Chains A and B, each alone.
Chain A
Amino acid sequence: MADERDRESTEIAVAELHKKIKEAFEVFDQESNNTVDVREIGTIIRSLGCCPSEGELHDLIAEVEEEEPTGYIRYEKFLPVMTEVLLERRYRPIPEDILLRAFEVLDPAKRGFLSKEELIKYMTEEGEPFSQEEMEEMLSAAIDPESNTIHYKDYIAMMVIDEN
């Protein structure tokens, strides 16, 4: 009895997930033909609350692409893969405190800020480097134009408020 109820509630939960995924997909499905440009897949996945790294994203794309990549991803292939990702709660977003600590690692002198050059250097040379566009975008919101520095604690607080 309990099993059946469990199964039913999982079914409902999965159905809800499917609707959620469909909504996110459709917003980018310009021509309403159940496909999106592969370059938008990252945005769609992230809009659903997941935070894969670029490497993980490439793997995901490989899973949903056609045998012969067409530059487009079909909804039929995307749905099952994305459902798994959400059910397994993969690629969970980074908590605020971890993010803060990451900035602090880059600021060993504990000044409370990073200079523009320092941030650019780390973001475009380390890890999974930013493109120029990404770098400019981040700077436009993060930088204090008078001192040319990024007060990361304030920045994080601002972004968190914005998201909520």
Chain B
Amino acid sequence: MGCGTSTTATKDKKSEKALKAALVIQNWYRGYSARLKTRQRYALTIFQSIEYADEQGQLQLSNFFSFMLENYAHVHEKDPELVNRFFGSSTQDSKDRQDYLGLIDVPDSYCGPRLQFPLTFTDIDVLIEAFKQQQILHAYYVLEVLFETRKVLKQMPNFTHTKTSPSKEITICGDLHGKLDDLFLIFYKNGLPSVSNPYVFNGDFVDRGRNSMEVLMILLVSFLVYPNDLHLNRGNHEDFMMNMRYGFTKEILHKYKLHGKKILQILEDVYTWLPIGTIIDNEILVIHGGISESTDLNLLHRIERNKMKSVLMSPIPIDGDRATEKKNKAGKAIAAWGMKTDGPFSEQLTKHEWEQVINILWSDPRGKRGCYPNTSRGGGCYFGPDITSKILNKYQLKMLVRSHECKPEGYEICHDGKVITVFSASNYYEEGSNRGAYIRMSSGTTPRFFQYQITKATCLRPLYQRVNAIESSAIRMLKERMISRKTDLIRAFQLQDRNKSGKLSMGQWAFSMENVLGLNLPWRSLSSHLVATDKDGNTDYMSSFQDIHIQKPVKEVQSTLIETVYRYRSDLQIIFNVIDSDHSGLISMEEFRSMWKLFKSHYSVRIDDSQFDELAERMDSNKDGSIDFNEFLKAFYVVHKFDKLSKSDTKLA
């Protein structure tokens, strides 16, 4: 008892020390953890900015096509196919189906899944099991499914109206983007679609992921089995031009070497018949992108939705639509093609109708009131909470459910609870980038959210490793952007560097980066990854380009040309794909040259023609007057000096 006081004193001192120590560790850990989360956010911001900038590039490309058609008449006298790709009406009908399918034989040796028409729920199971074992569905069945889907969709209105009840909830899923594992997970957690388990899939089933075809087939087969309970909405990626850039076209041509072209052809058409949206209980509007202040649901219910071939091909202006000059140019082009003016052009939507659909498929909600052009993506608009209220009230709706934007938690609620974003592709940008989610709801109850994240390993890697992975991936992408604009960047830097010191202040560096690259990113925070800075905080701007360069396919060609081709490689690939109507992978030297000239003038690219000719000559390795453009474009890749891999990982879509 006597020594009680002194032991308590030591005990107190000890515990005080322990307390202080614990505080130190906790304080440090919280700081570290916050910085990890911020790095993750930055990486996502980078991925997203680049993705949207690419979408802008896509819209610029569509303008180029319009420009091309107006100015490139004479080549297309010889190639009416090309014109049809832009204006052609779908002349396919049931006869076409019989003819084509009759020609395809499914050999006995084929051990992939076989479907039985009319389809039943057994076929859904058959497909799922087969795809789990990485089997590929034979082109014959793919085509049968597509033909049948088109037939059924044709009879459906632009908006699907459906009802729920307390005993029949509906599940809404967002973008899947070819992520088959996410679809499997949703069906596993939430059950397969059926009459008592209805689903809405809100667009963007394809592109980017590796299994777009499998995802699409499961969804379409499920739709054919339960046409009144599995609802599909069109997304901005249900579009043949987007598929060319973002990977689905490539996937199809790779998996279906023989019949890929036919599949692409029918698919283009099936897309145009997908409904624009779903309305649940007359209260909830489910559409892929968003709305604008002029969204007219009545008009959208009435338009002929199948005329929207690609949301990226704006209607060519004809009588009454635009300025006379454009009209005359178009008129001349049309005359040169020997086509009647009223023929294919009646196959278009009006400009107003077209814009209505674009807004539905491309818009994003934002906190700022009002409606503004969506400058990140280049199409659709940003709409504020006031716009949401206005449109919802106008049509007596309560809520808008949309997708289109990747969210870290898989879903997000904004505009006072009136707008929900749901995104179902987890790890969309990179492993660990985000969770996926789906919503279950029925009339009168609050929506319930379910989140998930696919992991390759059986247990999640620690956070810092995952963050490191997505951070490196994002920085790598950003660096490749930088190198593709090297000349412009250096010019901008040098303009500010009056005394030619090779250094710029952080502010000056950030300013040029943002201006030239057109990406709204936290440059100061990212600078440590991108450029060397001295102890005064000034940047050594040339240091960014030291550890990375574009491989020169031909030594004698100027860097600026290499850079330009590298920068526009996705666009060029799409242009070539479109010109190459017979999908042979080859185009003639003459076409190549003419295309380049047009491209140059439209994109205001300053490259000497002779340089380009030189390059083209050398790329025609067997001197037969034709160029394998895939080989041509593959030759331009970025080399990261301090990398284990010698070629860039970022794939050509």
Contacts and interface: CB of A to CB of B under 8 A. Distances in A.
A16 B41 contact: no
Contacts of A94: 24, 27-28, 31
Interface in A78-129: 93-94, 98-99, 101-103, 105-106, 122-123, 126-129
Contacts of A54: 26, 30
B468 interface: yes
A147 interface: no
B124 to A, nearest CB: 37
B432 to A, nearest CB: 13
A102 B21 contact: yes
B23 interface: yes
Contact of B34 (A32, A43, A127): A43
A127 B23 contact: yes
Contacts of B525: 20, 23-24, 27, 47
Main secondary structure of the interface of A (DSSP, over half): helix
Nearest to A45: B34
Given A43-B38, A47-B38, A33 B366 contact: yes
A116 B35 CA distance: 24
B510 interface: yes
Q: How many B residues are at the interface, by size bracket?
A: 35 or more
A59 interface: no
A37 B246 CA distance: 34
A134 interface: yes
Interface in B328-382: 365-368
Nearest to A32: B366
B42 A27 contact: yes
Contacts of A61: none
Contact of A31 (B32, B367, B464): B367
B28 A99 contact: yes
Interface residues of A, number: 48
A10 interface: no
Nearest to A57: B30
Nearest to B462: A141
A85 to B, nearest CB: 14
A163 interface: yes
A7 interface: no
Contacts of B45: 27
Interface in B2-37: 17-35, 37
Contacts of A140: 460, 462-463
A3 to B, nearest CB: 21
A132 interface: no
B522 interface: yes
Given A47-B38, A122-B22, A159-B464, A53 B412 contact: no
Given A32-B368, A42-B30, A94-B24, 11 more contacts: A16-B505, A16-B537, A19-B507, A23-B525, A24-B522, A43-B38, A93-B28, A106-B18, A122-B22, A137-B463, A138-B29
23 contacts: A24-B522, A27-B38, A27-B41, A28-B41, A31-B365, A32-B368, A45-B34, A46-B34, A46-B38, A47-B38, A50-B31, A51-B30, A94-B24, A105-B21, A106-B25, A122-B21, A126-B22, A127-B19, A127-B22, A130-B26, A138-B33, A141-B462, A141-B463
Interface of A: 15-16, 19-20, 23-24, 26-28, 30-33, 35, 42-47, 50-51, 53-54, 93-94, 98-99, 101-103, 105-106, 122-123, 126-130, 134, 137-138, 140-141, 159, 162-163
Please name the 3 residue pairs, one residue from A and one from B, whose CB atoms are nearest each other, closest first: A33-B367, A31-B367, A46-B34
